[in-house]
Every structure is written in C-alpha cells, then in structure tokens.
Homo-oligomer: A and B are copies of this chain.
C-alpha cells in the first residue's frame, strides 16, 4: 500500500479537537501525526505539552512540512480565511465547520479545482454518520428523490429529555450544553440554523445544487408549546426537528422544521444526541443511517476518517454537480401543519391554503390545515405562534378528535 504518513496542523483545541487527539492516539491504522495546534487563548491549562501549541496561524500555514490543515474553530469567517490560505499554500484541508462550508460551497468547490487540493468535511454533517462519503460513492448511480432526517444532536437531545423525562426546555438545554453537544451559541441549534447548514451541504452532494443557507426556511424548536407536547403524547406521536430536501417536478425543495412523527416510525427511535439520515432513491429505495451526531469522540472520529482518506488521495468528486442536472431551487410549496397560539386573531383561517379546523378555549387556540412555505416563514418569526409540521397526521381526524370547531368562517 502506498499510504503516506501525514503531518497535521490543527486549528482549535475544543471538544472536537481534543476528541481527534484522543482518537488519533488510540488507533494504529492512520499514518498521521499532529505537528502543531494553533489556539486563541493564552495561558489556558491544556492536556498536552505547551510546545505543541502556537498562537500564530502562520506557524502552521507557512510550515512546508505540514500536509494537512485540520480546521476546528468556531468562527466561520476566520475559518474560511484559514482554509483558503491553506489550499493556496498547497495543503489539503479537513474541517468540521458546517457554517463555513454551507456559506461558501461554490468557492470551496472552485478552490479545490484551482489549487488541486482536497477539502473533506464528513464531520460537519451529522457527526459520526458517513453520509457524505456514501452520497458521493454509493449513491452515485441511484436516482435520489429525497434526503431527510435528524441533523442536530443537541435539539434531539433536548426534545428527547422534554418528551421522555418531562424536563422543561431550559433544563434540557443546560443538560445538552453540559455534555458538550450544544454549540457555543445555542441559538444556532435551537433556531435550527445548524441543521440548515448541514442540509445545505447535504443538498450539494445529493442533488448537485449549491444553495445559500439563507434560501432555505428554518423553524426552530424553541416555541414548541406544552399543548403540542400534550397532543403528541396523547396520540402516540413524538416531535423531532426534521431537515428535508426533495426533488419534485424538476425542482429542489428544502425545509428544516419541527414535525410530529408516529411512534413506530424509524426516526422516532432516534434518541438523545443521535442523528439519522433517510435517503430515498429509485433503486436502493429507503436507506437509513443512524449514529451519534455530536460529541467529542464521534465527531473526532469522522475528522480522523477524512484524514485517513487523504492518505490514499481521496477527494469529493461532486459527481451530481459534475453530471450537471443543475435543478432550480424553489420555496413554492405547501405543508400540512398544526399551529397553536396564545394571542387571538394572530392567525386566521384565511391564512391557510386549505383550512381543516380550529379551536379556541382555555386561553389558547389551535388551527390546522395546509399553508405555504412563505406563510410558515412568516409565522416562524412571530414569538406568539408555534407551528409544527404534521404530514403524517390525519388533520380531519385531529380536528374531530380534539372537538375542534371552526373559529371564523
């Protein structure tokens, strides 16, 4: 085997960086060693000898001996500058920075062509799940129609605790942060930006379409109401934050939003920090990948797997992009929802494309039916409205069972 020994320059030594260090140390299969780690904070107590650390990025970027830059910092803008310079300087890059990748997909693709170097980022999408490599290599020939799943470990942890252990939202969020699942800025998770970044990246490798994250609508979990939870529990449902992209009539659609899921659905058994990706294709039909989506070791092991792939000159081919279907993206779609709100008259049956029923009483209101994605986006920005997708819920039966009556005509 021609595998070569790689020298690594690492940026950042937080949760994932330390995970990588441990994973690399405990395995024998990867011919790679960390030469230098660039960190920001001076005089911090660290688990490694100070001599391996530097505070000057050029100690890595200008070191001709370093083959691979491993970028594991929080700041997406600083990360992109590091990645760009690393490629210019002839280094391959491994990164787990989903925000940076999602925001610069086109540049990242072009930089790889221009400098003939690879950027691998398996750790950026669903932690330990090898979804990008599989989309690139295995689904090459499959006509994929949709990709969906649970793309964020910390919100799934929160929803699991809220549901199964009846913890309140803030308590569950604290738990996720204590375990290192939540991002340093929790709004990226709970407002569903983090899974949106991952979905943006997945779409590039699934459909060959490079989107900007801001094109995709994201609805967070922070407004899920006690009534939503009560309704779910009483009807053998659970609520998951679902990221989804699909191909329909020659267009690509995508959305991240909380969704009622039947208890016997495969996604329902995906608990705590686990993530899941469900790929539907013409030939292999439904395929599900489940694994830890967050945490030091699972993400560190995905990063190591990319480093290992570089020892045999692997790189993403972006085959679906190369095959050039180039389908347009659209938000011109509708979804079935159950919406609950406290303040009267915020939401009206007229807002629905197809209104199925409503209810008012005990100081709260429900309305259910089909709305446009634009309406969903509008409501998602209002503090007083909670919207949960309900594609697998029989809304007529819901309206009947909950003794809903039409609020307005």
Residues of A within 8 A of B (CB): 1, 23, 26-30, 128-130, 133-134, 137-138, 140-143, 264-266, 268-270, 274, 281-292, 297-298, 300-302, 304-305, 308-309, 317, 319, 322-323
Contact = CB atoms under 8 A, between A and B. Distances in A.
Contacts of A28: 323
A291 B286 contact: yes
Given A284-B302, A285-B297, A305-B140, A290 B292 contact: no
Contacts of A290: 266, 286-290
B23 A283 contact: yes
A128 B285 contact: yes
A140 B287 contact: no
A298 B323 contact: no
21 contacts: A23-B141, A23-B283, A27-B143, A28-B323, A29-B141, A30-B140, A30-B141, A128-B283, A130-B137, A141-B304, A141-B308, A142-B305, A264-B269, A266-B269, A266-B290, A268-B269, A274-B286, A285-B297, A286-B290, A286-B291, A287-B289
Most buried by B among A28, A265, A284, A323: A284
A281 B27 CA distance: 12
A264 to B, nearest CB: 6
Q: Across the A-B interface, give the 5 residue pairs with the lowest CB-CB distance, nearest first.
A: A283-B301, A288-B290, A128-B284, A287-B291, A130-B138
A285 B301 CA distance: 9
Contacts of A143: 26-27
Contacts of A283: 23, 26-27, 128, 297-298, 300-301, 304
Contacts of A319: 29
